[in-house]
Structures are given as C-alpha cells and as structure tokens.
C-alpha cells in the first residue's frame, strides 16, 4: 500500500492592502442645533429662534439664540444618530479642507447664530486672542475658552445696537446737556474732554476718554442710582414740552429694563446704530457694544468670551473692560452685501474666520453654488425647496429651520419647490483666507 501523498504546506495569507486615503466626504449632514434661553430673548412663537428651532414653543419661555456649530456650550449634533458635529469632523478632517484643518486645529473656526432680542444685552466687549488666553487661564469658569470673538450681525428685522464710542463733538454735547454725567466723572475729566479738538492727537483723546469712561463705570452704586433718577425725571418732564432725541428715548427705554444701572448713562457715550433688514455690522475685538432690539443673523469666531460692565444682572468685570477697550471714535461701517452671482449677496468682514452669503432662490429657479475650499453651514429661513450635493443622485427637502453642514470642495444645488422664494444663509470661512 502506497503512502498517501504529502500535503502541500498552506500558502501564506496575503498581507492586507493598505487603506487608501479617504476622499473628501460628499455627505450632506442635517444638524440639530442648540437653543439658548437667555432672559433677554423674545418669548414663544414671537421669537424667530423659536419658529426656526421648535414646532411647539413654550409661550412663557424666552428663545434668545440658535447656535449652529461646535462650541461646547451649545454644540450641534447630527440629526439621526445624535453624534456631535465636532466628533464627526475629528473623524472626517477632509470635510474641513486642508487649509482650514491646518489653521484651526481640525475644528470649525466660526459659530453661526440667530438672535431674537426683546431686551437690551449687556454693554460688553470681546477680548483679543492674547487677552482671551490670559482671562481663560485666570478664570476659566467665567471665560470658558481661549479664543477671540470678532463678530458680525446681519439684520433680519429692524435691528438696534450700540457700537463704539461716539465722536468727540457728540460727547461734548452729552456733557453740556447731561449734568448728571459730569457729576459722576468730575470737573477735571469733563474739562479735558470739553477742551478737546477734532485734530488733537489720537493718544491724548483716547487717554482723556478712557479716564472719563472709567470714572463713570466705577462710580458708586448710590451715586449712579441718584444720577439715573435725576436724568429720568428731567427727561419725563422735558417730553411734555419738546420732542426727545433718539438717544434720550433710548435712555428712558433702557431705564425701564435695567433700573439704577450705570449702563443707562454709559449708552450716551456710544454710537446708536439702526440697521434695516439686510444691513450688517461687524465688531472687532476690544470694541464696546450692546445689541438692543430686533432679530439678526450673527456669526463669530468660535468663542463665548464676553466681558460685561453694564445693563446686565450677570457678572461684571468693569476693570477689565475699561482697560481693554480701543477707545476708537468712529461710526461703524455698515455692510449691505455684494452680489457674487445671481441670487447671492456676500457679507465679507475683515476677519479670516467667517463670511456669510444670503441666498434668495425664486420659484422655479436653480441656484448652483460652486465648490469652496472650506466647510459651509446652511440655514433655511423661509420657503420650501430642495438642496442637493454634486455627488448625490437625489436631493433633500429643505424647509424653514433646516440646518445643513456641507463639506469642503462640494458643489451645492438649491431649488425652490413651492410658490415662494427660498431664503437661505450660508456661513463659511472668509474667501480672503484662501487667496
């Protein structure tokens, strides 16, 4: 009997092939976004934020801000599996594009918002990057990140704000007509400002303005209360015999919201800005401002750092605010958007982190948005339509309140399906950054 043939040795298993580098993900992500119920927000269905975010808003609850982004104080999640957008981006860095991923550490550099303002926000400023790092290290529970926070607001309704210091001649008029302020800042500082000329050195004017403003903001609570009471009483009397100025009417309104608050007086130091729908205002680091009323689209660097000093029940850091301000005296630039293609207007502030496109797509039309080398977030404000990526065989329905993340290098097609136009806003990285 023959021996059985020897078995051949098993062939070695082939080595697994290395995985190919992932292509940029061509996926349209629907987002669920956070709502902030700050007490200054508009209530219930009267709030644009509520109408965008909640089908059944509570009429007794304020809906102040809708946050679209990755900031940990209000992170967006993926509709469906609930994963954080920030975690998805960490797994899919190509969605940011190489330049954005390298510059901003694999995260969205902007935070997109909608604001519904019923009551004045605090007199505040946002620190520059260097100061933000210092404040975060010293008081992380108050200053929750180490980033700067330049921002831009685009009015959706009539929108009111204070922004930057008024020109010297306007401040002189305040000192002449509001003796209550002179009583708080003193004769010496009042005299210096009254003797200033438009052509005096910038540093000299800033020094005098800084000293006077700091005296006002650090005056004792009793002195402020007495000064506010006198001013309000006088304005109420004057209103019976003359028409009050816009700023005088603003003072009365602020006092009804924040009794005995130094911010009622400080408002007279700032530019009073009135935006019509479609107009925009941008605010750089260390510039004083306060939003007063109305609804807007807002975008900023990914930060929630706010230094407050008036018109607020929250923590006030008066010394930091007074020391950090630029004390520039100029009326802020108003942006109205620049057409970049049919149906699209672009708002481009002087900050790398962000820009905003306003897209109004008429019924029966198709809007094609060319690929950009950074990520985008789309918010549908009004109307019903369809949004489609260049790699998708079919589109997704898009209606009021829908929010989508679109990866870098992705063409987007938007069409209106109903009888009315579709209004969308696109937040993205400033185009200048890529050039």
pLDDT in tens, the chain (435 residues): 444 444 444 444 444 443 333 455 667 899 999 999 999 999 999 999 999 997 789 999 999 999 999 999 999 999 988 899 999 999 999 999 999 999 999 899 999 999 999 999 999 999 999 999 999 999 998 998 898 999 999 999 999 999 999 999 999 999 999 999 999 999 999 999 999 876 566 788 899 999 999 999 999 999 999 999 999 999 999 999 999 999 999 999 999 999 999 999 999 999 999 999 999 999 999 999 999 999 999 999 998 889 999 999 999 999 999 999 999 998 999 999 999 999 999 999 999 999 999 999 999 899 999 999 999 999 999 999 999 987 665 688 999 999 999 999 999 999 998 889 999 999 999 999 998
Rg (CA), the chain: 27
Residue 151 among known ligand-binding residues: yes
Q: Are 53 and 35 in contact (CB under 8 A)?
A: yes
Tokens of 241: 């015999």
Same topology, domains 160-335 and 343-434? Answer is: no
* Candidate list 86, 160, 308, 316, residue with the active-site label: 308
Residue 37 among known ligand-binding residues: no
Closest CA to 179 of 235, 218, 255, 138: 235
Closest CA to 434 of 171, 99, 48: 99
What is the rounded CA–CA span in Å between residue 283 and residue 305? 14
Residue 124 among known ligand-binding residues: yes
Active site (annotated) includes residue 32:
no
Looking up tokens 């008029």 gives 173
CA distances from 303 to 40, 212, 227, 251, 410 (A): 20, 30, 36, 30, 27
Tell the CATH topology of 343-434.
Jelly Rolls (2.60.120)
CA 134, 138, 144, 145 torsion: positive or negative? positive
Q: Which CATH architecture has domain 160-335?
A: Orthogonal Bundle (1.10)
Kind plus residue range of the DSSP H or E element containing 151: strand 151-155
What is the rounded CA–CA span in Å between residue 154 and residue 280? 4
What is the rounded CA–CA span in Å between residue 293 and residue 296? 9
Helix axes 202-217, 179-194, angle to 10 degrees: 160
Query: CA angle 150-154-156, nearest 5°?
Result: 150
Write phi, then psi, for 397 (nearest 5 degrees): -65, 140
The domain limits of the chain are: 160-335, 343-434
């Amino acid at each position: 009997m023959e021996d059985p043939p020897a078995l051949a040795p098993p062939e070695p298993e082939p080595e697994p092939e290395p995985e190919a580098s992932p292509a940029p993900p061509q996926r349209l992500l629907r987002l669920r976004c956070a709502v902030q119920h700050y007490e200054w927000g508009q209530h219930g269905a009267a709030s644009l934020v509520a109408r965008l975010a909640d089908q059944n808003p509570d009429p007794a609850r304020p809906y102040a801000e809708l946050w679209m982004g990755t900031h940990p104080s209000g992170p967006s999640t993926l509709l469906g599996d609930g994963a954080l957008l920030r975690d998805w981006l960490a797994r899919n860095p190509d969605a940011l594009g190489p330049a954005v991923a390298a510059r901003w550490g694999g995260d969205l550099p902007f935070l997109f918002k909608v604001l519904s303002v019923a009551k004045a926000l605090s007199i505040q400023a946002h620190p520059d990057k260097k100061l933000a790092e210092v404040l975060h290290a010293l008081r992380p529970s108050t200053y929750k990140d180490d980033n700067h926070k330049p921002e831009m607001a685009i009015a959706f309704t009539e929108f009111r704000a204070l922004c930057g210091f008024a020109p010297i001649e306007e401040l002189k008029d305040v000192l002449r007509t509001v003796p209550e302020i002179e009583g708080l800042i003193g004769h010496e500082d009042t005299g210096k400002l009254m003797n200033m000329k438009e052509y005096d050195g910038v540093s000299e004017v800033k020094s005098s303005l800084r000293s006077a403003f700091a005296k006002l903001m650090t005056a004792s609570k009793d002195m402020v209360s007495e000064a506010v009471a006198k001013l309000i009483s006088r304005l109420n009397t004057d209103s019976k015999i003359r028409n009050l100025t816009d700023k005088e009417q603003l003072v009365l309104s602020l006092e009804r919201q924040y009794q005995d608050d130094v911010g009622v007086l400080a408002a007279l130091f700032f530019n009073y800005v009135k935006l019509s729908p479609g107009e925009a205002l941008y605010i750089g680091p260390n510039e004083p401002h306060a939003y007063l009323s109305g609804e807007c689209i807002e975008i900023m660097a990914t930060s929630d750092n706010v230094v407050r000093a008036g018109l607020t029940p929250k923590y006030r850091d008066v010394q930091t605010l007074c020391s950090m301000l630029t004390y520039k005296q100029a009326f802020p630039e108003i942006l109205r958007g620049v057409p970049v293609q049919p149906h699209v207007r672009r708002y481009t502030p002087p900050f790398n982190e962000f820009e905003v496109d306003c897209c109004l797509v008429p019924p029966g039309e198709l809007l094609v948005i060319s690929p950009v080398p950074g990520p985008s977030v789309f918010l549908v404000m009004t109307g019903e339509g369809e949004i489609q990526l260049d790699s998708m065989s079919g589109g997704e329905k898009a209606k009021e309140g829908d929010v989508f993340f679109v990866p870098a290098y992705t063409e987007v097609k938007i069409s209106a399906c109903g009888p009315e136009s579709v209004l969308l806003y696109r937040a993205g990285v400033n185009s200048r950054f890529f050039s």
